[in-house]
């Protein structure tokens, strides 16, 4: 996968064995393992992935192949906690839900992405609100976060939550259905929160680019406002600076072109922005667990929930469907055949979206 | 080794070829010996160093072969008999000096240079026939064929050297140098000469053409002496159907072949010990009685081609011959020769069918031995610091991700090109070449080259040849990292001391030439690390290759495991917790026994677990940091 | 040189570390003391995967 430029840097293969290591924005294979059947292959979101099987396991229903995936409801929400709002992205909902879940002991650890020096991010384990807040804020550079789940799962935590991009959420789904004997303590995975994602940047190239124009140690929040803005924004002490997306699209990881999932379809909850309405999050509630957490948060007055305007919902569906179509186009171009969907399996539902 | 200095003329002793050579030098009254270790020559100076103090002679391990011969030549210039010994590569290193020394001549003390070739490269990077240098430089050349001759020829070589004031070459090969056999000892001279340089003499090769002419005249003198040398000999019928012409180890093989095929009434064997210049008359005499000649010699058709040149001159008078040997393919022109090759060449030539054994025997034997012979890679010893250094290098280069690579050099660490060193080394040539190549690679950034370059060399190799390459890199502003693997020994050849270890060949204390200070004095960044700290070493390497900071040196310092084992007790007691060991499963896949491969770790097939071999493990504790499950445990000893 | 009897070939074989070379030396020395004519060929060095000592006497 690494050689074929398909690696998403999700980190699902790291922390399982001494052969894979995540280093400075790459996953490196240090030595050759001689096993033909390994967990790394089983968990990777770019090796053959049976979407039908994952969907059945998590939801008990068939993979729909539609814009947003299996869901119960789509709402808007925002945090009512001022300290979170200042740190979080848009409505701060992800951080609020996790802080609450930890406080109420619904989970005892959360796997999040933390940005360290030089904009390098990696997975980290948070056990309380303070540690959750340290990870707040969007990060547009790929991070091997699932390494932290793999390592954390070996400790004595009983119910863990993980926040990830769609590729990471798919990997977690594959971990749940993995046929190998070694289950990687996946039963400890309690709640998955997925984040909306169009694409992610490769670390080294993007960092070197930013380094030229900005004092990278001073960058605060990062943001890509919804179209038609077409900019990437960084928050600096002197204000917000914008860079045209046209200048930085070349730093997007090649593997993102074959990703069809914008809203992390295999999560319990998926969280993203609301186009045109700042300070709020879109929340897609998919499972009973996800619903339970939202209800708890509402009851505890941790969040405020509102109905999602029809126009916004339609826009969201359009955007998600467009990502699917584009991905399928790229896949078919790459494989040369509509029968071969590269890593996608159990995806008959996607037939109508294939290029003609 | 005490038999070398035994004062018992006429006693019959079992000596190694190299010991016999050393004894021959002692019987000739040698007073100065200098060499650099090199298989298969190391024992010559090695045994002399052990008796040096008692016999009142001077013996040194020099930093390289060129300075060794230069040091020995000084003794010769001062009227003392001197010897230097080396392997074929060492001769290459010394060649510039001796190709001037041939013209300048040597002093009144005989100077003998023993070169021990390694046919088939059993322990070398190359295979080479050193005899050509005799032709190149007009040196008298002698090849002993037996252990007795190894002693007697070496002794006579000093007389020959003094007769013509020229360096004399004695050529041995592994089978002679490392074989053992009966040697009847001669007398040890009691008298010691005083060293004095006669200042009325000068030793210079100028005026070159005249000296060259004079050298040819010297060789003619030598040729006359060779015509009646007792070291040449013939066995066989008066008019053989086939003449085996042989020198050196070929003599044993020829005898064995003729005997095995029962051809001693039809095949004659002419043994030449005085291989250059060739004794014309002796050869002409034997060649006049035969029309077919088979040459049996080691490595290249030196004797064969030189005799063919003579034959071309003689043919108008004596006639023509059919020659067989390496050119005809009867014996391989590569690799080592052995009795079987000669035995297999003869049946066709003598029209005498021969089958050593039934047709399928060889295959059967091979199948049987496969089951019995354990699979053994070329490996580093348990506890070897090189394994740890190469592990850190492997990880660092992979993590760095720019396609960095390692240029290699000569020594135990040369095994880094195989699984022992995780296939890190990509080039291997002569001493110091790794640094030389790296200094060149480090200039290629002008042409878009962006790969980090590491060069590895040992502490002894560093002194021998890497210093000029290092300085070249600094002066020409190259970019590379030289990793000096400092294990405080010239290990591969037998743990001989060197300029950095604080001890001379004879065991007396010596000033330590400090590699770190030396490199720092060159004005470059020098770091040190302990290879047993894998993480620290990996980080250091990553840091060093990160910047394009000119020439940088990393000294990876930890004593050779075998030297350490003789001096200290083990640092740790190591064992594997079988409960924690994952063995072959996903999560480990036998990292310690399949990739790290220290011989101190064993794979127990039945239990499916790793375990520590308590006999082989030296207790370095490095494997505890490799195990992903912390199943390998160490306690301080 | 001529030998009064056919030589006896004694082959000691094994892998490095088992004491091949030492064994052949001891046997060789003992034989020399008994005035036998002995030749020992050894293979060792970097080629340590198999070790054969050929003692002919």
Three-state SS sequence of chain A: CCCCCCCCCCCCCCCCCCCEEEECCEEEECCCCCCCCCHHHHHCCCCCEEHHHHHHHHHCCCCCCCCCCCCCEEEEEEECCHHHHHHCCCCCHHHHHHHHHHHCCCCCEEEEEEECHHHCEEEEEECCHHHHHCCCCCCCECCCCHHHHHHHCCCCCCCEEEEECHHHHHHHHHHHHCCCCCCCCHHHEEEEEEECCCCCECHHHHHHHHHHHCCHHHCCCEECCCCCCCEEEEEECCEEEEEEHHHHHHHECHHHHHCCCCCCCCCCEEEEECCCCCCCEEEEECCHHHHHHHHHHHHCCCEEEEECCHHHHHHHHHHHHHHHHHHHHHHHHHHCCCCCCCCEECCHHHHHHCCC
| Whether pLDDT at C49 is above 60 | no
Chains B and A touch (3+ CB pairs under 8 A): yes
Residue C41: list chain B partners with CB under 8 A. 175, 179
- Whether C and B touch (3+ CB pairs < 8 Å), yes or no: yes
In a domain, B39, yes or no: yes
Whether residues C49 and B182 touch (CB distance < 8 A) is answered with no
Of B161, B192, B227, the last residue of a domain is B227
Query: How confident is the model over B108-121, as a mean pLDDT?
Result: 97
Task: Report helix angle B147-164 to B17-27, nearest 10.
Answer: 40
Closest alpha carbon to B176 in B245, B114, B226:
B114
Domain boundary among the residues B334, B350, B366 is at B350
Indicate whether B213 and B89 sit together in one domain: yes
Residue C51 reports pLDDT greater than 70: no
* Closest chain A residue to the Cα of B401, Cα to Cα: A28
The DSSP secondary-structure symbol of B532 reads T
Give the pLDDT confidence score for residue B371 in this predicted structure.
80
How do residues B356-385 score in pLDDT, each as one tens digit? Answer: 788 788 888 888 888 877 777 789 999 999
Is B314 found in the same domain as B199? no
Tell whether A240 is covered by a domain.
no
Q: B122 and C46 in contact by Cβ < 8 A?
A: yes
Q: Is pLDDT above 80 for B223?
A: yes
Chains that touch C (3 or more CB pairs under 8 A): B
Q: What is the pLDDT of residue C54?
A: 60
Q: How many domains does chain B have?
A: 4
Residues B319 and B436 in one domain: no
**Does A85 fall in a domain?**
yes
pLDDT at C52: 53
Interface membership of A38 toward B (CB under 8 Å): yes
Whether B373 and chain C come into contact, CB under 8 Å, resolves to: yes
Q: Which of A229-233, B118-122, B591-595 has the lowest mean pLDDT?
A: A229-233
Closest Cα in chain A to B584: A35
Quick check: B422 contacting A, CB < 8 Å? yes
Q: What tens digit of pLDDT does each residue of A105-139 get?
A: 999 999 999 998 889 999 999 999 999 999 988 88
* pLDDT exceeds cutoff 90 at B597: yes
Decide if A144 is inside a domain. yes
Chains B–C, number of C-beta pairs less than 8 Å apart:
56
Q: Does A118 touch chain B (CB under 8 A)?
A: no
Q: Does C50 score more than 60 pLDDT?
A: no
Residue A246 lies in a domain: no
C39 interaction partners in chain B (CB closer than 8 Å): 147, 179-181, 252
Between chain A and chain B, the number of residue pairs with CB atoms below 8 A apart is 50
For B221, residues 6+ apart whose C-beta sits below 8 A from its C-beta are: B163, B164
B255 and B167 in a common domain: no
Among B17, B44, B124, B109, residue whose Cα is nearest residue B72: B109
C-chain residue closest to B147, CA distance: C39
Domain edges within chain C: 9-56
Q: How far is B577 from chain A (nearest CA, A)?
A: 18
**Residue B422: its chain A contacts at CB < 8 A?**
31
- Determine the structural domain holding residue A110 and report its residue range: 20-202+252-353
C57 pLDDT band, cuts 50/70/90, is: low
Which residue segment(s) compose the domain that B122 sits in? 2-227
The per-residue pLDDT of chain B, averaged, comes to 95
Q: Residue C48: its chain B contacts at CB < 8 A?
A: 376, 378
A101 in Cβ contact with A107 (< 8 Å): yes
Q: How confident is the model at residue B637 (pLDDT cuts 50, 70, 90)?
A: confident
Q: Is residue B407 located within the same domain as residue B547?
A: yes
Q: Residue B359: inside a domain, yes or no?
A: no
d(C-alpha A149, C-alpha A190), whole Å: 12
A13 domain-assigned: no
Q: How confident is the model at residue C53 (pLDDT cuts 50, 70, 90)?
A: low
Q: Does C57 touch chain B (CB under 8 A)?
A: no
Residues B480 and B555 in one domain: yes
**What subunits touch chain B, counting only 3 or more CB pairs under 8 A?**
A, C
Mind telling me how many Å the CA of C21 is from chain B's nearest CA?
Answer: 11
Residues with pLDDT less than 50, chain A: none
Structure tokens at B23: 């004894």
Asked if the C-beta of A16 comes within 8 angstroms of chain B's C-beta atoms, the answer is yes
Q: Which residue has the higher pLDDT, C15 or B229?
A: B229
Domain harbouring B494, CATH code? 3.40.50.970
Mean pLDDT over B29-40 rounds to 97
B26 and B175, same domain (yes or no): yes
Residues B213 and B284 in one domain: no
Pair B521, B435 in one domain: yes
pLDDT tens, residue by residue, B499-558: 999 999 999 999 999 999 999 999 999 999 999 999 999 999 999 998 778 999 999 999
- Which among A24, A28, A182 is the nearest to B587, CB-wise? A182
- Same-domain check for residues B57 and B166: yes
Judge if B47 and B114 occupy the same domain.
yes
pLDDT of residue C47: 44
Q: Residue C33: which pLDDT band, with cuts at 50, 70 and 90?
A: confident
How many structural domains does chain A have? Answer: 1
Q: Are residues B316 and B411 in the same domain?
A: no
């Amino acid at each position: 996968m690494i050689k074929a430029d398909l690696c998403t840097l999700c980190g699902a293969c790291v922390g399982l064995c001494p052969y894979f290591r995540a280093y400075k924005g790459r996953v490196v294979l240090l030595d050759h393992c001689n096993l033909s059947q390994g967990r790394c292959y089983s968990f990777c979101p770019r090796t053959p992935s049976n979407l039908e099987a994952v969907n059945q396991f998590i939801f008990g229903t068939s993979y729909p192949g539609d814009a947003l995936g299996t869901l119960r409801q789509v709402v808007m929400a925002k945090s009512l906690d001022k300290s979170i709002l200042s740190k979080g992205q848009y409505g701060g909902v992800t951080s609020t839900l996790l802080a609450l879940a930890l406080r109420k002991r619904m989970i005892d650890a959360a796997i999040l992405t933390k940005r360290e020096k030089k904009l390098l991010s990696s997975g980290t384990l948070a056990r309380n609100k303070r540690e959750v807040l340290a990870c707040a804020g969007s990060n547009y550079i790929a991070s091997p976060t699932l390494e932290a789940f793999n390592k954390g799962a070996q400790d004595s935590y009983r119910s863990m939550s993980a926040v990830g991009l769609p590729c990471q959420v798919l990997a977690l789904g594959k971990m749940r259905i993995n046929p190998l004997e070694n289950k990687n303590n996946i039963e400890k995975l309690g709640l998955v929160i997925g984040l909306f994602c169009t694409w992610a940047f490769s670390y080294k190239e993007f960092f070197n680019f930013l380094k030229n124009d900005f004092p990278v140690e001073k960058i605060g929040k990062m943001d890509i406002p919804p179209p038609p803005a077409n900019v990437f924004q960084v928050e600096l002490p002197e204000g917000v600076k914008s860079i045209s997306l046209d200048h930085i699209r070349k730093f997007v990881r090649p593997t993102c072109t074959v990703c069809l999932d914008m809203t992390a379809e295999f999560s319990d909850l998926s969280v993203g922005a609301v186009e045109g309405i700042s300070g709020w999050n879109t929340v897609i509630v998919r499972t009973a667990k996800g619903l339970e957490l939202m209800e708890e948060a509402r009851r505890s007055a941790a969040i405020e929930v509102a109905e999602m305007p029809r126009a916004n919902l339609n826009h969201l569906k359009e955007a998600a469907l467009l990502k699917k179509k584009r991905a399928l186009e790229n896949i078919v171009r790459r494989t040369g055949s509509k029968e071969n969907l590269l890593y996608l399996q159990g995806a008959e539902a996607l037939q109508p979206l294939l290029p003609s | 080794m005490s038999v070398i200095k035994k004062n018992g003329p006429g006693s019959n002793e079992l000596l190694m070829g190299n010991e016999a050579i050393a004894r021959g030098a002692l019987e000739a009254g040698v007073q100065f010996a200098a060499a650099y270790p090199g298989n298969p020559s190391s024992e010559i100076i090695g045994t002399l160093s052990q008796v040096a103090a008692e016999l009142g002679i001077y013996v040194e391990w020099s930093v390289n072969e060129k300075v060794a011969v230069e040091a020995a030549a000084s003794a010769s210039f001062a009227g003392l008999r001197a010897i230097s010994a080396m392997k074929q590569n060492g001769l290459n290193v010394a060649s510039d000096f001796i190709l001037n020394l041939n013209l300048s001549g040597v002093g009144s003390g005989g100077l003998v240079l023993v070169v021990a070739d390694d046919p088939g490269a059993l322990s070398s990077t190359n295979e080479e026939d050193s005899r050509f240098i005799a032709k190149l430089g007009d040196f008298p050349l002698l090849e002993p064929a037996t252990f007795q001759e190894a002693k007697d020829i070496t002794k006579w070589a000093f007389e020959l050297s003094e007769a013509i004031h020229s360096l004399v070459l004695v050529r041995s090969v592994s089978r002679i140098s490392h074989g053992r056999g009966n040697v009847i000892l001669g007398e040890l001279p009691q008298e010691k000469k005083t060293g004095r340089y006669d200042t009325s003499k000068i030793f210079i090769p100028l005026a070159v053409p005249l000296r060259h002419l004079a050298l040819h005249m010297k060789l003619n003198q030598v040729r006359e002496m060779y015509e009646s040398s007792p070291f040449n000999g013939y066995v066989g019928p008066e008019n053989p159907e086939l003449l085996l012409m042989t020198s050196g180890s070929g003599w044993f093989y020829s005898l064995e072949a003729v005997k095995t095929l029962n051809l001693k009434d039809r095949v004659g064997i002419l043994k030449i010990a005085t291989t250059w210049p060739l004794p014309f008359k002796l050869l002409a005499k034997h060649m006049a009685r035969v029309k077919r000649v088979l040459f049996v010699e080691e490595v290249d058709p030196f004797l064969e081609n030189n005799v063919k040149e003579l034959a071309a001159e003689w043919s108008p008078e004596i006639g023509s011959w059919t020659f067989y040997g390496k050119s005809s393919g009867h014996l391989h022109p590569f690799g080592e020769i052995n009795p079987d090759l000669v035995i297999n060449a003869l049946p066709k030539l003598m029209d005498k069918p021969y089958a050593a054994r039934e047709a399928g025997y060889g295959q059967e034997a091979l199948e049987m031995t496969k089951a019995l012979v354990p699979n053994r890679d070329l490996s580093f010893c348990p506890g070897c610091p090189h394994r740890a250094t190469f592990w850190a290098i492997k990880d660092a280069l992979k993590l760095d991700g720019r396609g960095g690579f390692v240029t290699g050099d000569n020594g135990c660490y040369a095994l880094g090109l195989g699984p022992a060193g995780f296939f890190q080394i990509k080039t291997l040539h002569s001493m110091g070449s790794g640094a030389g190549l790296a200094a060149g690679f480090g200039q290629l950034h002008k042409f878009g080259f962006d790969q980090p370059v590491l060069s590895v060399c040992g502490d002894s190799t560093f002194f021998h040849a890497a210093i000029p390459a290092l300085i070249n890199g600094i002066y020409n502003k190259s970019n590379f990292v030289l990793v000096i693997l400092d294990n405080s020994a010239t290990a591969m050849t037998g743990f001989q001391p060197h300029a950095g270890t604080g001890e001379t060949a004879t065991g007396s204390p010596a000033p330590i030439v400090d590699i770190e200070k030396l490199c720092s004095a060159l004005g470059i960044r020098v770091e040190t690390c302990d290879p047993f700290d894998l993480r620290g070493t990996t980080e250091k390497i990553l840091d060093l290759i990160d910047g394009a900071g000119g020439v940088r040196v990393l000294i990876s310092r930890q004593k050779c495991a075998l030297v350490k084992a003789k001096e200290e007790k083990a640092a740790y007691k190591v064992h594997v917790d079988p409960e924690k060991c994952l063995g072959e499963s996903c999560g480990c896949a036998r990292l310690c026994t399949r990739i790290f491969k220290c011989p101190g770790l064993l794979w127990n097939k039945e239990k499916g677990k790793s375990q520590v071999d308590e006999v082989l493990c030296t207790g370095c504790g490095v494997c505890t940091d490799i195990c992903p499950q912390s199943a390998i445990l160490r306690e301080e000893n | 040189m001529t030998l009064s009897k056919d030589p006896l070939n004694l082959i000691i074989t094994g892998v490095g570390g088992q004491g091949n070379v030492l064994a052949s030396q001891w046997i060789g020395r003992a034989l020399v003391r008994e005035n036998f004519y002995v030749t020992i060929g050894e293979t060792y060095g970097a080629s340590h995967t198999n070790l054969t000592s050929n003692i002919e006497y």
